[in-house]
Structure 1
Amino acid sequence: MPLASIDEYGVVFDYDDTGAPPGSSDYITLIITHGVYYTNGIFFRLRPYAAPLNLRLVLLNFRENGKSTRFSDDEVKILAGTDLEPKAAFMKQRVKELAAFFVWYIRKENIPIQKEVDGRKTGGFTWIAWSAASAYGVSFFGFPEVIPENQQQLIEKYMRAYVLFDPTHSVVGGHPRTLDELYNVFLDPSIPAADKSLQGPYWVPKLVGKYSRSAQYAYDSLSVDNIGNLPPLLEFLGKLQTMPDPVRLDLLPPEETTEPFGVWRSFMPIISIDPPAFYGPAFDRALTQGFGGEGSGRTYFPNVKFEYVATMQALPETVYGAYWVKRMVLEYQERGTKTRGFNLRLVKDAAHGWHWEEPGEFIKFFASIV
């Protein structure tokens, strides 16, 4: 896989690139980022389906994954601390690094600029953040002012959309819940610690298994268009399936798709940064300020729309995230708050590992919305 050397920050990013579709000069690039425990290998099944849809896939490994630069011990200590300010500064640094990668890639590969001809939009790139990857995306759009002005201007010419694909509740500001309110097998003291380890029997089923028995309820509950029809939160959580349907434990070959190193060292601490104090305000700002909505001053990425894709057979934490955002958007509508372009798309018959289980259907769906 190629390596991107972001010299200004002393960082290297590891990524996979399908290359331009043969003969195409107006293709769309999808930059896809992974969540906790997984590497970009979790998306490799998508590669054969890209070119026929005029897509180029760039599958990026975050730091601590693959050959991307690891965090220093001092950086990790920041995440282990209790002070929010240095953690916020840590995430803003990640924003600058990712912006530098986007600019580096655009210039290196000379991808088609986005444009519209006869009502058809071509070129440019869309960022798809799976699961916990939206910790980085919400920070990116919540604190865009840290990106150098020349980089902002270039990215704005190319960036089409940002897709939050099944983000966990914490990174969209969802408040922590008790174990009784939102069951999590990893927090259950009755489950032996060995069973909850990366090698234990719960990781893969919990993260990418299907929670099919509550999918119809979740879909119907989140399909409402009036906040008065949205079920109360605890009622909603109480009706979600808490353990996945049985799955094959060999569904995801670990040597091709996973990176245990950074799970507890950095990624779990990253998504655990105070949701009410950090991710919630950042997500609100990303949706309502800095792009021509509420507030004044510089607009950031004003034409980038947000697509929120929520699979209803996903683990309860991500379905809770969809509820949280649905309520947020309905409250905006009720107050008359202007937001950037935003769509919440519910997929009833898919789970968190949709891209692995049904790569052809997955890529067709995402090609239709980006």
Structure 2
Amino acid sequence: MATYSTAKVGPEGIEFSFADSGAVAGSNDYTTLVIFHGSAFNSHSFHKLLPLASSHNLRVVVVNRREYRGSSRYTEEEITHLQEGRKLFLERIGLHVVEFLQYFAETYDIPKITVGKDKGGIAVMGWSIAVATVLAMLGHPDTIPKEYYERLEPYLRTAVLYDPPYHAFGYEITGDVDAYNPWTDPTIPTAEERYKTFQYWVSSYYSHPDIRSGSMRGLDYRHRTDQASIDNTAKEDMAMMYEESAAVRTDLHMVIEPMQPTIREQAKMALFNEELARTVLPDLRVVHVVCLQTHWHCIWGYIEAKKEYESCVAKGQKPRPFDFVEIPKANHFVHWDQPAEFLDAVAQAVTTFGHV
């Protein structure tokens, strides 16, 4: 069982609970992979990665986002901002992410980015809806002090977008398809019951025959499949890693109106704004990881993000550089079902960017 510590960051003293695999013995160029978990399933869902980290020259740090076990809860005022879709809510998330990364880099004296820019430093990962958490630190530069970015620049070299749903970018659904969505299922009367359905839907293994078409037609829209990660998860682990109340209070409002247009603007600024790509952490690279048997929300997020990036490049624009990494035979919980294979794919992606 992972041992958790508490970081108190920034002038507000916001607390983040985290577990750390520790410095890699004998290495002065290891990369620190900081992971922010998704909705309902907290950082314990990544604890299998910790004992595997050093073999990849990685230090893995798994963080409980605010509202989750051991980390600061949101105030009622902040929850109101979230429910109203206010930019201020995302700005504060971005500031606190930057403050945590600074805290960890400086407190634990981790290696800085190497001259070749392929080792050392920090790769910050968001899983699922927490991709919006990672993008928050890039999409609101006017609210994050310039010196914060300057202190972080010698460390932060990669942002890993791990299997994000289309909501993490604020994309819309296109085409006339009967796409199942647990958030809008009219047969589910309460938010709590939506999350009970969500457990099986989000952790199933799906079959998407053609993700190259650029269309939503032909994706797998089943409510769940015969094989789901949660079916093979011990009750003890579920008790540790599943926090329905935190998700209902916070994450549920991230994937619906009125926050979705605000998230859309954040993603455009963070990833595709040329001026910000040039001036805010200009050496930062982006790796978008998609699991090919994940649920359709993430497949659609991948299709749309790839399409938007390639469109920018075709027009001669210069967004943040992307690599797109596909993991076959993997679902949204590949880090739980196949931790060694997942960490191998991530380690390769963050150390061979642009050469994959």
TM-score (norm 2): 0.89
Paired AA for residue 292 in structure 2 = M
Q: What is residue 115 of structure 1 aligned with on the other side?
A: 114
1:278 partner SS: helix
Aligned to 1:2, what secondary structure does the other structure show? strand
1:151 aligned onto 2:131: no
Q: Are 2:246 and 1:262 aligned? A: yes
Distance 1:257 1:25 in 2: 32
Q: Is the 8 A contact 2:37 2:43 kept in 1?
A: yes
- 2: CA distance between counterparts of 1:31 and 1:135? 15
Instruction: Report the CA distance between 1:284 and its aligned residue.
Output: 2.0
280 and 243 in structure 1: CA distance in 2 versus 1, 3 angstrom threshold: same
Aligned equivalents of 1:289 and 1:194: distance in 2?
35
Who is 1:346 aligned against?
A: 326
1:287 maps to 2:286? no
Distance 2:285 2:117 in 1: 16
Counterpart CA distance in 2 for 1:195 and 1:68 is 22
Is residue 95 of structure 1 aligned with residue 79 of structure 2?
Answer: no
Equivalent of 2:294 in 310, 314, 317: 314
Q: Which amino acid aligns with 2:251?
A: F
Q: Does residue 171 in structure 1 map to residue 168 in structure 2?
A: yes
Corresponding residue of 1:332: 312
- 2:275 and 2:191 map into 1 onto residues whose CA distance is 47
Q: CA deviation at 1:176?
A: 4.9
The one-letter code sitting in structure 2 at the alignment partner of 1:115 is T
Q: What is the deviation of 1:120?
A: 7.0
Deviation at 1:287, TM superposition (A): 2.3
Question: Secondary structure of the equivalent of 1:51?
Answer: helix
The percent identity for this pair of structures is: 25
Query: Counterparts of 1:250 and 1:369 in 2: how far apart (Å)?
Result: 28
After alignment, is 344-353 or 326-335 more displaced? 326-335
3-state DSSP class of the match of 1:115?
A: coil
Q: Aligned ranges for residues 214-253 of structure 1 at < 5 Å?
A: 214=208, 216-218=209-211, 221=212, 230-231=213-214, 233=215, 236-246=216-226, 247=228, 249-251=231-233, 253=237
Contact 2:141/2:280 (<8 A) preserved: yes
Q: Distance in 1 between matches of 2:81 and 2:57?
A: 42
| Matches of 1:175 and 1:120, distance apart in 2 | 35
- The CA RMSD over aligned residues, in Å, is 2.3
1:61-113 CA deviation, whole Å, 9 max, x = no partner? 110011100011121122223xx4xx201110111111111111111100011
Write out per-residue CA displacement over residues 215-251 of structure 1, whole angstroms, 9 at most, x where no aligned residue: x422xx1xxxxxxxx44x3xx2443332332235242
Secondary structure of 1:4's partner?
Answer: strand
Who is 2:340 aligned against? 360
User: Whole-Å Cα distance in 2 between the matches of residues 365 and 112 of structure 1?
Assistant: 22
- Go from structure 1 to structure 2 and tell me whether the alpha carbon gap of 1:239 and 1:3 turns closer, same or farther (over 3 Å shift): closer
Alpha-carbon distance in 2 for matches of 1:26, 1:364: 17
Q: Is the alpha carbon distance of 1:194 and 1:245 closer, same or farther for their aligned partners in structure 2, counting shifts above 3 Å?
A: same
**SS, match of residue 249 in structure 1:** helix
Structure 2's unaligned 5+ residue stretches are 351-356
Distance 1:94 1:185 in 2: 26
User: How far apart in 2 are the matches of 1:217 and 1:123?
Assistant: 37
May I ask how many residue pairs the two structures share in their alignment?
A: 343
Aligned twin of 1:105: 104
Q: 1:113–1:123: 8 Å Cα contact kept in structure 2?
A: yes
User: In structure 2, the residue corresponding to 1:30 is in which secondary structure?
Assistant: strand
